[in-house]
């Protein structure tokens, strides 16, 4: 059994698409006379770190030493993100791009249900991305585990260069992938696609044997040490050279799956940084994911919950 402070020695650099998740909670008591939609009277507002910032938050909540590198706008949402990172003692390396707005996901919640989500997003400019890559290379020596959190918002266009640089320095790279082409993630230590992302890349499968064949073929083609497939209610499966390890889902009640992938990869990073093996880390990541889906919104898991 690990102690709650076991991850204190983990040094993790999270790089990717930084977002701010806004939640507006309210009462729904009538339908609008203007259109057949509910009227939500807002009573409470919350702001939480989202995207790559939520990965950093999850790792920090497990006690790891975390840095976050990414692009934000020169706006009040970026100020809010900076303030929350400071409160969590996460090292912040925010490249502010005055030409864009910080990515915001605004969710309107009524009667404990999400009624609407509004996204504000723009791709970063080339100049800021070049500056970020230079800063990334300067930061690499200070960290052991690199997490690349790709939400396909433009911050990780240089992901192949980032993986190559980390590999040259002997760093382990964990990638939460997006899109239908995983070739740019070649050479990473670990990829953590969910079932739908994986299916988009390799196609469908008839049975577990065919799934294993496709997963191992992809892992070998991309020269990955491991591939961790998150399968929602079916749990997670870790594919390595040595074994195929399946851990069934543990969630008693699924309340909200948003951010569960962030929790899984953050837990993997924290555990690997603390000296755990890939199979050991996968079992704990599965437990963390099972805990977090029982909470509303982009939530986190504490060391006490994970090891208690």
Taking only the tens of pLDDT, the chain with its 308 residues reads 566 576 778 899 999 999 999 999 999 989 999 999 999 999 999 999 999 999 999 999 999 999 999 999 999 999 999 999 999 999 999 999 999 999 999 999 998 889 999 999 988 989 999 999 999 999 999 999 999 999 989 889 999 999 999 999 999 999 999 988 999 999 999 999 999 999 999 999 999 999 999 999 999 999 999 999 998 878 899 999 999 999 987 755 555 555 688 999 999 999 999 999 999 999 999 888 878 776 666 667 777 677 76
pLDDT of residue 75: 95
Rounded to whole angstroms, the Cα distance separating 116 from 13 reads 33
Tell me if residue 45 falls in helix, strand or coil: strand
Extract the tokens encoding 40. 């939500």
Could you give the residue ranges of the DSSP H alpha helices within 20-176?
A: 52-61, 76-87, 126-139, 159-168
* β-bridge partners, 91: 67
How many beta carbons lie within 10 A of that of residue 257, not counting itself?
Answer: 14
pLDDT of residue 86: 98
Q: Would residue 262 show up in a list of annotated catalytic residues for this protein?
A: yes
Counting Cα atoms < 13 Å in the Cβ hemisphere of 222 gives 28
Contact 86, 118 (CB under 8 A): no
User: What is the spatial order of strands in the sheet that 103-110 belongs to?
Assistant: 38-51, 18-31, 103-110, 113-120
Rounded to whole angstroms, the Cα distance separating 190 from 202 reads 17
Rounded to whole angstroms, the Cα distance separating 118 from 124 reads 19
pLDDT of residue 231: 87
Rounded to whole angstroms, the Cα distance separating 51 from 114 reads 18
pLDDT of residue 288: 86
Continuous segment of H or E residues that includes residue 195: helix 195-202
pLDDT of residue 1: 52
Catalytic residue among 21, 97, 150, 262: 262
Q: Locate tokens 């990965």: which residue?
A: 55
91-97/38-51 β-pairing: unpaired
pLDDT of residue 297: 62
Length of the chain: 308
CA distances from 214 to 180, 201, 205, 222, 239 (A): 15, 10, 8, 12, 11
pLDDT of residue 289: 82
Tell me if residue 163 falls in helix, strand or coil: helix
């Amino acid at each position: 059994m690990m102690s709650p402070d076991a991850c204190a020695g983990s040094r993790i650099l999270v790089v990717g698409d930084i977002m701010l998740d806004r939640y507006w909670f309210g009462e729904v008591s009538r339908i609008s006379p203007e259109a057949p939609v509910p009227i939500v009277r807002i009573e409470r507002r919350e702001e939480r770190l989202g995207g790559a910032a939520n990965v950093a938050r999850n790792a920090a909540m497990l006690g790891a030493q975390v840095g976050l590198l990414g692009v934000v706008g020169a706006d009040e949402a970026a100020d809010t993100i900076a303030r929350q990172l400071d409160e969590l003692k996460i090292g912040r390396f925010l490249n502010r791009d005055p030409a864009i707005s910080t990515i915001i996901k605004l969710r309107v919640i009524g009667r404990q249900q999400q009624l609407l989500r509004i996204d504000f997003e723009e791709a970063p400019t080339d100049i800021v991305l070049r500056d970020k890559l230079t800063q990334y290379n300067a930061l690499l020596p200070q960290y052991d585990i690199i997490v690349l959190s790709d939400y396909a918002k433009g911050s990780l266009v240089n992901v192949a260069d980032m993986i190559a640089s980390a590999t040259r320095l002997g760093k382990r790279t964990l990638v939460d992938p997006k899109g239908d082409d995983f070739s740019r993630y070649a050479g990473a230590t670990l990829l953590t696609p969910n079932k739908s992302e994986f299916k988009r890349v390799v196609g469908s499968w008839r049975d577990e044997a065919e799934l294993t064949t496709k997963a191992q073929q992809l892992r070998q083609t991309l020269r990955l040490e491991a591939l961790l497939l998150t399968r929602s209610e079916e749990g997670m499966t870790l594919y390595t050279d040595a074994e195929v390890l399946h851990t069934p889902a543990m969630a008693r009640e699924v309340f909200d799956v948003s951010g569960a992938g962030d929790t899984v990869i953050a837990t993997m990073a924290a555990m690997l940084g603390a000296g755990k093996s890939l199979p050991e880390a996968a079992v704990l990541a599965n437990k963390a994911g099972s805990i977090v889906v029982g909470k509303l919104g982009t939530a986190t898991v504490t060391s006490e919950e994970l090891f208690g």
